[in-house]
Structure 1
Amino acid sequence: MTHATPGTATPATEPTTRFAPAATITVVLGLVGINLANHLLGWDSLWLGPVGAVALILFARASGLTWHQLGLARRTHAAGLRWGGIVIALVTVIYLIGVLLPGTRTAFLDVRYHLPPAGILLTAFVVIPLGTVLLEEVAFRSVLWGMLSRHARMWQVLLGSSLLFGLWHVLPAAASATGNASVGAAFEALGGHAKVALIAATVLFTAAGGLIAGELRRRSGSVIASIGMHWATNGLGVLFGGLAWSLAV
């Protein structure tokens, strides 16, 4: 019987490590396809999100990733919930202050979320979690994270997944100017370059958010922590946006 020497891969792990870069590239190309289908072909993200998330996890498991590598191991759930809960509480306080102060309230007045109460609740607790948070967290902080970790150092995993997360938002970036008056006004002075500047700013802002979400995922070992942050920034944004509109009347 042969024994593997320390630091060398055993025959059982060789296939997964050998094809790790190819699997990572496949995931990236798959995400490009999902992004194009959602924003250019108009596919409904409410079903595309869950289907895409399941497909990514199935591919990752077939490629040899463990639940721990995916940030979904049962033993990390408690830490993920703890970190996620802390972030949700922190964002709640920040958003509440932002809405109550007249000087910052306009930042929450997004016409996309000027909805009746039922629409606000549906968007915050169904559309955003299923159509946005689930897919993006599984894609960038679970599957892509696990793929990159097999052939890159941790700082490269964090930076690479965050940069790709920023680029993921190139197509929907223009909606920020048409939906939020304060955002549009901030770039109005740039004239013909406003759209390019808005896209660049969106990519940088979301990449920075990806760094924070990635650090939460790294510290907790669980994607639940980054899910909590992602929902807090988006879902609570809708809830407090509704409050801002009611105060603006």
Structure 2
Amino acid sequence: MALGATLVVVLGAWNIVVVPRFPARPGAYVAANGAATAVLLAAARAAGLAWADLGLDRRRLAAGAREGGVCAAVVASGYAVALAVPGARPLLADARVAGLDGRGIAGQVLVRVPLGTVLWEEVAFRGALPAVLARLVSPRRAAGASAALFGIWHVRPTLDALAVNGLATRPRERVAAVLLACLSTAAAGLLFAQLRRHSGSLLAPALLHLAANSLGILAAAAAHRLR
């Protein structure tokens, strides 16, 4: 009970309160989220959760790789199709990517996203949190609560993206955009949870999550260069 309440509070405040206080130097985001992942896993294990409860059973890696790989291939195909259609390329553009050189893009795709974002979020929202909540409510409700919190998690990143790209500058537009983003990511959280449940491994949602984010950066970079 105590661990569940603590997780909800910490995860609810992390992106809004904690992340903005990270040092500006490169690597701070990855290091801080990596440390948080380690602490969370240690706390979950100390609370009696098995590796299988957290989606980290080695025996389920093959199933996770298989299901996650198929989903990642679908995402890659979607980005490829969007890049092939000139009218769709502006939808992929992102000012946060436009200013990055090759090294910066590689750092985002190979380090920041997999180690700073995907690892932390999957362990938190598809591993520890639903496993802890499932001790208090049904697994379906635990997955739903985790997905809802995952949606709220994206309030600050959405506001940042809107500001950088000069979108939804009016208050009502901004509220609508943030609400839509939160609902979309909550829905994605439910999909990730289903992959986790069906495969028995965090690797499945992690591969889909990684494809959506890292390939999205590559697609945005390509869209800027193809203008």
Q: How far 1:204 moved relative to its partner?
A: 0.5
Aligned residue for 2:121, secondary structure, equals helix
Q: How far 1:109 moved relative to its partner?
A: 0.9
Please tell me whether the aligned partners of residues 130 and 139 of structure 2 are also in contact (alpha carbons under 8 angstroms): no
Equivalent runs, 1:42-121 vs 2, <5 Å: 42-43=22-23, 44-114=28-98, 115-121=100-106
Pick aligned residue for 1:239 from 196, 215, 218: 218
Q: How far 1:118 moved relative to its partner?
A: 2.0
Question: Are 1:32 and 2:15 an aligned pair?
Answer: no
Q: How far 1:156 moved relative to its partner?
A: 0.6
Pick aligned residue for 1:155 from 120, 123, 140: 140
Please tell me whether the aligned partners of residues 107 and 180 of structure 1 are also in contact (alpha carbons under 8 angstroms): no
Cα deviation, 1:94-150, whole Å, max 9, x if unaligned, reads 001011111211011101111222221211111111111111111100110211122
Q: TM-score, normalised by structure 2?
A: 0.92
Structure 2 gaps of 5+ residues are: none
Amino acid of the residue matched to residue 101 of structure 2?
P
Question: Are 1:193 and 2:193 an aligned pair?
Answer: no
Q: How far 1:29 moved relative to its partner?
A: 2.1
Please tell me whether the aligned partners of residues 92 and 236 of structure 1 are also in contact (alpha carbons under 8 angstroms): yes
Match of 1:6 in 2: none
Equivalent runs, 1:130-141 vs 2, <5 Å: 130-141=115-126
Equivalent runs, 1:196-215 vs 2, <5 Å: 196-215=175-194
- Structure 1 residues 192 and 34: alpha-carbon distance in aligned structure 2, compared to 1, 3 A threshold: closer
Please tell me whether the aligned partners of residues 12 and 149 of structure 2 are also in contact (alpha carbons under 8 angstroms): no
1: CA distance, partners of 2:141 / 2:186 = 14
How many equivalent pairs are there? 221
Amino acid of the residue matched to residue 200 of structure 2?
G
Structure 1 gaps of 5+ residues are: 1-20
Q: How far 1:205 moved relative to its partner?
A: 1.0
Aligned residue for 1:151, secondary structure, equals coil
Larger Rg: 1
2: CA distance, partners of 1:140 / 1:105 = 31
Amino acid of the residue matched to residue 102 of structure 1?
P
Instruction: Provide the alpha-carbon RMSD of the alignment.
Output: 1.4
Q: How far 1:199 moved relative to its partner?
A: 1.4
**Deviating runs (4+, > 6 A) in structure 1?**
none
Cα deviation, 1:19-58, whole Å, max 9, x if unaligned, reads xx2221111222235331103x234321111101000000
Please tell me whether the aligned partners of residues 121 and 239 of structure 1 are also in contact (alpha carbons under 8 angstroms): no
